[in-house]
Amino acid sequence: MATEIVFMPEVDGSGDVIEYCVELGAQIAIDDPLIVFESDKASMEVPSAVEGILVEWLVELGSKAESGTPLARIELVDTVSEVEKNKTSEVAEKTATAVEQPLVEETAPAQSVTIETITMPEVEGSGDVIEYCVDIGSQIEIDDPLIVFESDKASMEVPASAKGVLIEWLVELGSKAESGTPLARVEVVSSARAGAQNKVSAQPAQTPAASVSHADSIIPQKPVTLAPAVTDIAQPVVSAEVYAGPATRKLARELGVALNKVQGSGNRGRILKDDVKRFVKQQMSQPQVSAAQSLSGSGIPAMPTVDFSQFGDIEEKTLSGIAKATSAHMTRCWLNIPHVTLFDEVDISELERFRARCKPEQYGMEKKPTVLPFIIMIIAKALRRYPQFNSALSADGETLIYKQYINIGIAVDTPAGLVVPVIKNADQKSIAELSQEIANYAAKARDRKLKAEDMQGGCFTISSLGAMGGTGFTPIINGPEVAILGVARSEIKPVWNGETFLPATKLPLSLSFDHRVINGADAGRFMSMVHQCLADIGCTLL
Ligand code: CAO
């Protein structure tokens, strides 16, 4: 059996072969998609120019291709012998001259060409034409996908209702279509026995000799026309939400998969057939959810949308970028990390006396240090002593990564939202230095002058609401960190010393920790060290 090589047709520049559309050994017809080619301008399916059995790939997945690159070897189906070809070309000649010779030989097949309009089949409502599945000039079979139609209810490939050569689109990409909308014009070549009809088509003027090359009995070795140029072919993917080729869309339709729910693993997020199959597998392995439940994308019941204006006047304000990022991050951390919060209250009377005695000018400080730099210093020590608090869990949950550096993030409240600058190497800094760095970061944060690197590399976060008030709160861990300390407002409280009540300044603390990494007992030990050092500041010297 003879084999033939299919080459890459004329394309603009080079690109990658990102998908094989058929498997070795498969029977392929002319114009069946062979590979998916993707350049930085477009993505398209390259059709086969010959009919036969795919016996060898000549291009590897992921490798580069350009005009003329050999793609595959096809074993030709032995239906076209030279004799038949000659016969067919005779027919072609005869058909071309049919105007002058209306009566033809009894045995010779003849072709009549008619132009048929394919219209949109019965659909519910209207929608958009988001993709052309074939190119002008392509031979299409009945039921071949013609366009992709997308309404707010569904996305579907509309099949061709006629067989022939696509000569004109009657609907523009992105335009609306509904039942009966004319979609495309197809040149339909039908063969007829002269003996049966006794004469050829009465429309010779519409029978250009070239169209004979589309006759059924010929396997055209026609060049694959991918014109319009690649940049035009990129246009079919009008919907930015779903980036997938026709073959993938077809598979998704067969499997009843909504492509906008599938994560694409191809270049620039293109959805591949394997992604659709993986999605189906995932769905099958998930527990069934009651149909009555309305679910958000994460599988969590969605919040209902409420029209608050029905209850009174409202004002809507778009969230700042920082607020949106915080919202997403907090949700991610809250949902992904199993939190436990441990509360404590420390007598910081001695620290308060020390702060009161402290003369900032002696240490080059502008003002007395607040309690925060002391807390940072003590936390830095505790992180060194209990390294699992200075760790992160790998994304697959298999490895604990111990950080050898100690960087502590400080939650800072700004008019634009919450930011967390990170004090680097906090364990190597004095109270004066920590104090200065907090002040600098707070000023930069409020002036929106923090740089990305100022907020990166944190190991542990402290959120101090001491200046604002509150008796305690449960801070959300700033993942992938594994713990966070919340500091609430200190208060003078009466403390029983065995004989009498004495005033003491009590500082409420709350330690939230990731229970996958830290056990309650570990948290207790960590908190106990922090407690001791804050209660007896001399311990920090040890
Ligand atoms: N108890 C009582 N008073 C406290 C206190 C506490 N725990 N912590 C601070 N204070 C006092 C300070 O001593 C200071 O008093 P003086 O003016 O008399 O010196 C005053 O409150 C203001 O302190 P501060 O806020 O300027 O300084 P700080 O070092 O305590 O905190 C900073 C700095 C940047 C962390 C803080 O200003 C801030 O932005 N905190 C908000 C953090 C936040 O929003 N966390 C919530 C995150 S979750 O939404």
Q: What is the DSSP string of 293-341?
A: --B-TTSSBPPPP--GGGTS-----PPPHHHHHHHHHHHHHHHHS-EEE
Residue 467 CB–ligand 1 contact under 6 Å: yes
Q: What confidence score (pLDDT) does residue 86 get?
A: 45
**Minimum-distance ligand 1 atom for the alpha carbon of 476:** 48
| Ramachandran area for residue 274 (φ above 0: left; ψ -120 to 50: alpha; else beta) | alpha
How confident is the model at residue 202, as a pLDDT?
Answer: 31
Q: Rounded to the nearest 5°, which phi and psi values hold at 186?
A: -125, 135
Find, among 333, 380, 370, the residue nearest to 529 by Cα: 380
Task: For residue 228, give Cα distances in angstroms to 11, 21, 136, 178, 192.
Answer: 10, 22, 8, 26, 33
Catalytic residue among 214, 329, 339, 515: 515
Pocket of ligand 1, candidates 370, 419, 507: which has the most ligand atoms within 8 Å of its Cβ, to mutate?
370
Helices (H), 358-478: 371-385, 431-446
Contact (CB, 8 A) for 13 and 41: yes
User: Which pLDDT score, from 0 to 100, does residue 519 have?
Assistant: 97
Give the model's pLDDT for residue 111.
60
CA contacts within 13 A on the Cβ side of 62: 2
Ligand 1 centroid to Cα of residue 337, in Å, is: 27
How many angstroms separate the Cα of 245 from the Cα of each of 33, 162, 257, 323, 459? 10, 22, 14, 37, 44
State the amino acid at position 272 in one-letter form.
Answer: L
Homologous superfamily in CATH for domain 239-316: E3-binding domain (4.10.320.10)
Q: Does domain 3-76 have CATH number 3.40.50.300?
A: no
Which two structure tokens, joined as six digits, stand for 334?
Answer: 């809250």
Going residue by residue through the chain (542 aa), what tens digit of pLDDT does each one get?
A: 688 889 988 887 888 888 888 888 888 888 888 888 887 766 788 888 888 899 999 999 889 999 889 999 998 865 444 434 444 444 344 433 333 333 333 344 456 778 899 999 888 788 888 888 888 888 898 888 888 887 766 667 788 888 988 999 999 988 999 989 999 999 887 754 433 333 333 333 332 222 222 322 222 233 322 222 222 223 333 333 577 776 787 788 788 888 888 888 876 677 888 888 888 888 877 655 444 444 455 677 888 889 999 999 999 998 888 888 899 999 999 999 999 999 999 999 999 999 999 998 888 888 999 999 999 999 999 999 999 999 999 988 899 999 999 999 999 999 888 999 999 999 999 999 999 999 999 999 999 999 999 999 999 999 999 999 899 999 999 999 999 999 999 999 999 999 999 999 999 999 999 999 999 999 999 999 999 999 999 888 87
Question: Residue 410 CB: number of other CB atoms within 10 A?
Answer: 25
CA distance 20 to 265: 15
Who contacts 455 (Cβ-Cβ below 8 Å, separation ≥6)? 409, 419, 420, 421, 422
Instruction: Give distance in angstroms: CA of 372 to centre of ligand 1.
Output: 7
Ligand 1 centroid to Cα of residue 245, in Å, is: 56
Q: How far is the CA of 415 from the centre of ligand 1 (A)?
A: 15
Q: Verify whether ligand 1 is closer than 6 Å to residue 109 (CB atom).
A: no
Cα separation values, 458 from 217, 391, 397, 433, 483, Å: 72, 10, 19, 18, 11
Topology agreement, domain 3-76 and domain 239-316: no
Q: How far is CA 512 from CA 63, 155, 329, 491, 508, in A?
A: 50, 46, 16, 22, 13
CB of 370 within 6 A of ligand 1: the answer is: yes
Question: Which residues pair with residue 115 across a beta bridge?
Answer: 187
Does the annotation mark 214 as catalytic?
no
With CA atoms as reference, report the closest residue to 211 among 240, 188, 229, 231: 188
- pLDDT of amino acid 423: 98
The CATH number of 324-540 is which of 3.30.70.3000, 3.30.559.10, 3.30.450.40, 3.30.470.20? 3.30.559.10
pLDDT for the residue 434: 97
Annotated domain spans of the chain: 3-76, 111-191, 239-316, 324-540
Q: Residue 480 and residue 336: Cα distance in Å, rounded?
A: 10
For domain 111-191, which CATH number applies: 3.40.640.10, 3.30.2350.10, 2.40.50.100, 3.40.50.2000? 2.40.50.100
> Which residue intervals of 131-272 are DSSP H helices?
194-197, 230-233, 246-255
Asked whether the beta carbons of 176 and 152 are under 8 A apart, the reply is: no
Pocket test for ligand 1, best of 374, 441, 464 (most atoms within 8 A of CB): 464
